[in-house]
Amino acid sequence: MNKSDLETLVDLRVKEARILLDNKCYEGAYYLLGYALECAIKACIAKQIKEHDFPDKYLANASYTHKLGELLGVAGLKQKLGEKENADEEFKLNWAVAKEWSEDARYKNTIEKTKVKDFFYAVINDKSGILIWIKNWW
């Protein structure tokens, strides 16, 4: 899997999550949208790898997590995240919602509609959404 594959997966997972949300399948929508964010951050990490370079062991090992906050650190975006949060209160609130996502959502059989809608807004909002911000760095 490469950076381009990850970028394609982001759009695919957002599309699937939207279909699930529109059809009141909130648990699946929540789960897939979180994976879209994960893939977006991993695309930022993949950008750091140059063709034919042997990957840094720390970078490779640290990339195999599902924790969005940790992945932002691996991608080198923690400082930029802080700067964006200080400059944009709505973005800060959106990140507070988004960072609560966990891959454990796959085991949830009940997720409230409002939680999913808030998460969806936090991720895909055109002005202060998390995904549009991440795409600046991939």
| Residue keyed to tokens 């063709």 | 51
Looking at residues 88-96, what average pLDDT do you find?
98
pLDDT of residue 52: 62
Compute the distance between CA of residue 83 and CA of residue 133 in angstroms, rounded to an integer: 12
State whether residue 2 is helix, strand or coil.
coil
- The alpha-helical segments, DSSP class H, found in 1-138 are 3-22, 26-47, 57-62, 68-74, 78-87, 89-98, 113-124, 130-135
> Is the pLDDT assigned to residue 50 strictly greater than 80?
no
Q: For the chain, what are the domain ranges?
A: 3-135
pLDDT confidence bin for 114, thresholds 50/70/90? very high
> To the nearest whole number, what is the mean pLDDT of the chain?
94
Comparing 108 with 135, which gets the higher pLDDT? 135
Phi, psi of 56 (to 5 degrees): -65, 130
Compute the average pLDDT of residues 107-124: 95
Contact status, residue 3 vs residue 43, Cβ threshold 8 Å: yes
